[in-house]
């Protein structure tokens, strides 16, 4: 099997993670999280989203977060943007990348952004055009690519069709979202093969939620299928409030373990990410769900660390 020497990880915790927190997270914690992530070596961080604050109150401080973060050279500080109003706000706040989104299934699209799929394209087209004219990198998410919380299975052709439209609009990259965490590795292989007919492999990213514990295996499948860009969220935070039953994103630390142990470089300092996850647990006042966090807390047997952990509870 041929694995790449390196891949790009996009850290989506500050947006996809924090959009789903039950308790309000102080702006200063968000800013510090993003600063710590860029210091750990991430080159792509989704900072926040400029959606309607009534729809996602957790990120109502998007403007302030985007303005206050430290900017390190070479890092893309992107934001989720649903429409031209969101783009205006993102540009004013200094977003360094624009991420548009829609779903491959009609019902989730309507519940999430209040429009049918065909009504959404004309909303996104001017956003992509203006963001490109401003010289910003643009990513397009295709949500519910492996399953919809309202419609169940989503046909591969529907996902390919939405991805094709995004590429025709001019996005640089398409991120394929398993919003509710239902995918298994065989489906990942099949979908990537079908997508490769309309999107070059180097412009495909995979975005997994880990509801059923399949996300790390799905990343391994994506890697073997030739994908080189993956999304992850520190501590496994995350979820879409308009996708009932879905849990967090795949945890960044667990993806780093998979990649680094497989000899695939990310440019990210795993230890610093671990320290940041510990800090975040304290800041949020609750344990994070990643395997790595459980191991660090000694709750899970892992070689020498496990042997030292008398009375470890397992997991």
Active site residues: 240
Out of ligand HMG, Mg ion, none, what residue 52 binds, judged by CB under 5 to 8 A for its kind, is: ligand HMG
Q: In the structure encoding, which two tokens stand for residue 301, read together?
A: 């047997």
Out of ligand HMG, Mg ion, none, what residue 86 binds, judged by CB under 5 to 8 A for its kind, is: ligand HMG
Where would I find the H helices in 134-229?
Answer: 156-169, 185-195, 215-224
Binding residues for ligand HMG, rule CB under 6 A, total 26
- Any contact of residue 178 with Mg ion (CB under 5 A)? no
**Going by DSSP bridges, is the β-strand pair 76-80/173-178 parallel, antiparallel, or unpaired?**
unpaired
Q: Which of 42, 77, 101, 146 touches ligand HMG (CB under 6 A)? A: 101
- Any contact of residue 106 with ligand HMG (CB under 6 A)? no
Q: Which of 56, 154, 171, 195 touches ligand HMG (CB under 6 A)? A: 56
Question: Are residues 66 and 81 in contact, defined by beta-carbon separation less than 8 angstroms?
Answer: no
- Any contact of residue 76 with ligand HMG (CB under 6 A)? no
In angstroms, the CA 264 to CA 262 distance is: 6
- Any contact of residue 61 with Mg ion (CB under 5 A)? no
- Any contact of residue 50 with ligand HMG (CB under 6 A)? yes
In angstroms, the CA 156 to CA 195 distance is: 9
Q: Which of 44, 143, 233, 247 touches ligand HMG (CB under 6 A)? A: 143
CB of 16 to ligand HMG, least distance (A): 5
**Long-range contact pairs involving 214-219 (C-beta distance under 8 Å, separation at least 24):** 214/181, 214/183, 214/184, 214/185, 215/178, 215/181, 215/249, 215/250, 216/250, 216/254, 216/255, 216/258, 217/184, 217/185, 218/178, 218/183, 218/184, 218/185, 218/188, 218/250, 219/250, 219/255, 219/258
Q: Which of 44, 58, 78, 179 touches ligand HMG (CB under 6 A)? A: 179
Out of ligand HMG, Mg ion, none, what residue 85 binds, judged by CB under 5 to 8 A for its kind, is: ligand HMG
Interface with ligand HMG in residues 206-225 (CB under 6 A): 207, 209
Interface with Mg ion in residues 4-43 (CB under 5 A): 16
Residues that bind Mg ion (CB under 5 A): 16
């Amino acid at each position: 099997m041929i694995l790449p020497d390196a891949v790009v990880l996009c850290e989506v915790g500050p947006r996809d993670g924090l959009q789903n927190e039950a308790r309000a997270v102080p702006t200063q914690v968000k800013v510090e999280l993003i600063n710590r992530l860029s210091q750990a070596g991430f080159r792509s961080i989704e900072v926040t989203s400029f959606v309607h604050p009534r729809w996602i109150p957790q990120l109502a401080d998007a403007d302030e977060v985007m303005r206050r973060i430290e900017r390190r050279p070479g890092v893309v500080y992107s934001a989720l943007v649903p429409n031209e109003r969101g783009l205006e706000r993102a540009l004013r706040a200094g977003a360094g990348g624009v991420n548009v989104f829609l779903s491959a299934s009609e019902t989730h699209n309507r519940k999430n952004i209040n429009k049918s799929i065909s009504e959404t394209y004309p909303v996104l087209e001017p956003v992509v055009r203006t963001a490109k004219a401003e010289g910003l990198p643009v990513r397009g998410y295709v949500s519910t690519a492996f399953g919809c919380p309202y419609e169940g299975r989503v046909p591969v052709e529907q996902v390919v069709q939405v991805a094709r439209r995004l590429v025709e609009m001019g996005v640089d990259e398409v991120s394929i979202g398993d919003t509710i965490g239902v995918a298994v590795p065989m489906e990942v292989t099949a979908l990537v093969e079908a997508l490769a007919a309309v999107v070059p492999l180097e412009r495909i990213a995979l975005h997994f939620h880990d509801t059923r514990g399949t996300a790390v295996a799905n990343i391994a499948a994506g890697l073997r299928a030739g994908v080189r860009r993956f999304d992850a969220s520190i501590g496994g935070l995350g979820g879409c409030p308009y996708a009932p039953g879905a849990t967090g994103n795949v945890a960044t630390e667990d993806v780093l373990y998979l990649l680094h142990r497989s000899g695939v470089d990310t440019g990210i300092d795993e230890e610093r990410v671990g320290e940041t996850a510990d800090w975040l647990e304290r800041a949020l006042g609750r344990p994070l769900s990643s395997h790595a966090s459980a191991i660090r807390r000694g709750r899970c047997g892992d070689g020498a660390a496990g042997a030292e952990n008398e009375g470890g509870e397992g997991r």
